[in-house]
Amino acid sequence: MAAYQLVIFDCDGVLVDSEPIANRVFADMLRELGISVTMEYMFEHFVGYSMVHCLGIVRELLGHEPPADFAARCRERTAQALAQELQPVEGIAGVLDALGIPACVASSGDHDKMRTTLGLTGLLRRFEGRLFSVTQVAHGKPAPDIFLYAAEQMAVAPEQVAVVEDTPVGVTAGRAAGMTVFGYAARMPAARLRAAGASAVFTDMRALPALLGVSA
């Protein structure tokens, strides 16, 4: 029997290399509101969280509510940038071919965003019917809700699930769900993923099958 019966992938930064693009757009919009932030700040405070959470941070930075259309404009501008620049994470197609066990996606983004980014990169067909969003549960990451929901929908016990995450908040959520979490540290410092509880940290997606005990 395989060590795991299900692999749950985060979407942004794990399947699609969207985070540098999305965070650049978000940072540009913050600067337009008079808030200057570095990309390091963006990855520290925004990456891995839901839009609701991010808007709360923007509210704190501004000292008042952001413009009512901020989120909608951010989604529109991000979609335009992604359409021009987005690529799949290097090696992910071969990894998905090698898994040999069920896989699904559990993201802090909504379904439209997942379908857009996975569609742009040719990965959507691999996950049809197995996309789970934080909008379907009560609490976003770092709460375990989205991972527990995905496992329940896939009929797999949490202890039989491997999670692949690239942010500390995602690692924390997977650990809280009672799952084994593998930290993908292509852009996030490996030490932060280890500190959050990742069982193993790797920088080349092609190393994942071996970590999972799957022969590529």
CATH number of the domain at 185, please.
3.40.50.1000
Torsion (CA) 84, 54, 153, 156 in degrees, nearest 10: 100
Whole-angstrom distance, CA of residue 128 vs CA of residue 211: 25
DSSP state of 81: H
105 and 34 share a domain? no
What predicted TM-score, i.e. pTM, was given to this entire model?
0.84
The answer to whether residues 151 and 161 touch, using CB atoms and an 8 Å cutoff, is: yes
Same domain, 59 and 134: no
Q: What is the number of structural domains in the chain?
A: 2
Same domain, 114 and 183: yes
Closest CA to 108 of 61, 80, 145: 145
Beta-ladder partners of 184: 202
**Residue whose structure tokens are 């896989």:** 103
Q: Are 213 and 162 in contact (CB under 8 A)?
A: no
Are both 132 and 184 inside the same structural domain? yes
Is position 216 within any domain?
Answer: no
Q: At what angle do helices 51-62 and 19-32 cross, to 10 degrees?
A: 30
CA dist 29 to 57, 58, 108, 213, Å? 14, 11, 20, 43
pLDDT at 50: 79
**Same domain for 160 and 53:** no
Contact 186, 170 (CB under 8 A): no
- Residue 182 in any domain: the answer is yes
Per-residue pLDDT of the chain (216 residues; tens, 9 = 90+): 468 999 999 999 999 998 889 889 999 999 999 999 888 888 878 877 778 889 999 999 999 999 999 999 998 999 899 999 999 999 999 999 999 999 999 999 899 989 999 999 999 999 999 999 999 999 999 999 999 999 999 999 999 999 999 999 999 999 999 999 999 999 888 999 999 999 999 999 999 999 999 864
CA distances from 134 to 27, 66, 174, 188 (A): 23, 22, 13, 22
- Which amino acid, residue 161? V
Buried b (16+ CB within 10 A) or exposed e, 169-203: bbbbbbbbbebbbbbbbbbbeeebbbebebbebbe
Angle at 189 between CA 41 and CA 172, to 5 degrees: 85
